[in-house]
A and B are shown apart, each in its own frame.
Chain A
């Protein structure tokens, strides 16, 4: 057991946790932030993606101990409490979710992707860069549209 302190969605948290606890488990079980989901056991589905120090990582394959002193943002921290984040709005507008299970990880991964490029994304880029996210419901078609649309909005600001 170790004391682990980190910032989650702008709030400092500090908990005594087992060393083998994964960041995904910490978020879901210790903090009750169940928006981050676990969908596989081989680090391939992307449902667990969160932002750690600004970049997207698969929280099922990161020890919470390794995220000590980091800034973590989960799906619950995307909106500012009053307005939805452009990615959330785009997902709703373009019907980029059906069951919603892959959606949190999908959006966090998309936010990271959009932030890396100082310009609007092309559908081809989105398809190639989102390889680490699986969706079983949508066939990806609308998710591509939503991410391109969000990139337009975010880079118009």
Chain B
């Protein structure tokens, strides 16, 4: 790893100031995206600003009917939070299924969402629940946030403070893990609200997480688990690699959608 200088701000203000004054600086939360990238020279910052010790960025709380999760909440914190388990159990389940036990100790929701890895789990929940990304500058709706492959609407050095999730009537998540990396080859998050249904797919699309808009309309009319059975999935923008052809990927999207529908209120993991 190339030499760099490590900074540990304890307030948001300090973090912002550092990001504005240092040249070639990046933020780090859990480090489980940044450090592997730095080890491979895919990222070569001169300064690393560690956000994980800023108290204001942790905390999981309820505000009216919304669940607010601090950006520095680790996956294990979200998975074991009684609040999350009660309000959106599929979200707690998803967090508890990310990576492995050690990764879940350090990885954070803010880091994952800011990175927008096309094979990450969280983007499907954020988009599927229609969450709002609260930064130090503004609030960004999920639909406007995930812009493309590893790309988000964040400005440089805009800091995610928390993510607000509306509480659904029910939600479910199903994913099929790839044989090597264990990321979802297709992960489908479905959330049902009064007056809307949202279905978000991760792991499958070349541009990252996306919604199955047609299915959402169908489910809004009639929320039955058979709706996915003959779902037409376009193969056009699906990822092709050594473990999935486009046709197979489309099939996984269909199957995971079907499983999520069948088991709303929980998560289903396949491999």
Contacts and interface: CB of A to CB of B under 8 A. Distances in A.
> Are any A and B Cβ atoms less than 8 Å apart in their complex?
yes
Contacts of B38: 20
B138 interface: no
A43 B6 contact: no
A19 B5 contact: yes
Contact of B1 (A2, A22, A57): A22
A112 B32 contact: no
A14 interface: no
A61 B105 contact: no
B100 interface: yes
A41 B105 contact: no
A63 B106 CA distance: 12
B148 interface: no
Contacts of A63: 6, 31, 35, 48, 50
B105 A66 contact: no
B102 A49 contact: yes
A47 to B, nearest CB: 12
B40 A43 contact: no
A115 to B, nearest CB: 12
Contacts of B156: none
A18 interface: yes
Pick the most buried of A19, A41, A63, A68: most chain B CB atoms within 10 A of its CB: A63
Interface residues of B, number: 25
Contacts of B48: 19, 63
Contacts of B3: 18-20
Please classify the interface of chain A as helix (H, G, I), strand (E, B), loop, or mixed, using the class held by over half of its residues.
Answer: mixed
Given A22-B35, A61-B32, A46 B4 contact: no
Nearest to A43: B36
A62 B50 CA distance: 11
Interface string B157-186: 000000000000000000000000010000
Contacts of B239: none
B25 to A, nearest CB: 13
B2 A20 contact: yes
A2 B36 CA distance: 22
Given A41-B39, A43-B36, A63-B35, A57 B2 contact: no
B103 interface: yes
Contacts of B4: 19-20
Contacts of A42: 36
Contacts of B102: 46, 49, 56-58, 109, 132
A56 B106 CA distance: 10
Interface string B202-239: 00000000000000000000000000000000000000
B132 to A, nearest CB: 29
B8 interface: yes
26 contacts: A2-B6, A18-B3, A19-B4, A19-B48, A20-B1, A20-B3, A22-B1, A41-B39, A43-B35, A46-B102, A49-B102, A56-B105, A57-B105, A57-B106, A58-B103, A62-B31, A62-B35, A62-B106, A63-B6, A63-B48, A65-B6, A65-B8, A66-B52, A112-B101, A130-B101, A131-B101
Interface of A: 2, 18-20, 22, 41-43, 46, 49, 55-58, 61-63, 65-66, 68, 109, 112-113, 129-132
In the A-B complex, the 3 residue pairs with the closest CB atoms? A132-B100, A19-B6, A65-B6
